Amino acid sequence: MPKLYEYFGLVFLFYSQEHEPIHVHGKYQDTESKAEIVFENGKFKEIIIKEVQGKIPLNIQNMKKFKRVVEVYRDDIIRKWIDFFVYNIDFSPETITKKI
């Protein structure tokens, strides 16, 4: 379960046995949601926030933080997805300390 970022207690991660579309999970304590990064014809289209089956979704405050970080770090998330799932390259987690 590679961790990408931590942002004021909100943890961004992939699960090791993931599937497409490219997405990232956001966890805060015992709540969790995921953000799918959607492309159409090779161009970015949108970010869709979804619930994770069997998990309590992030509250409104953490959901806003989650979506904002995914928007700002979208290209880095995609690069890390490809590195991890296609090329089997590990990466180190980052702590984001500046408010976005």
Domain boundaries, the chain: 3-96
Q: What is the pTM of this model?
A: 0.93
Q: What average pLDDT does the segment 67-77 reach?
A: 97
- What are the residues whose beta carbons fall under 8 Å from the beta carbon of 71, sequence distance 6 or more? 47
What percent of the chain stands above pLDDT 90? 92
Q: Do the bridges between strand 94-96 and strand 10-13 make them parallel or antiparallel, or are there none, so unpaired?
A: unpaired
pLDDT bin (cut points 50, 70, 90) of residue 30 is very high
- What are the residues whose beta carbons fall under 8 Å from the beta carbon of 81, sequence distance 6 or more? 14, 22, 24
Helices 74-81 & 60-72, crossing angle to 10 degrees? 80
pLDDT at residue 58 tops 90:
yes
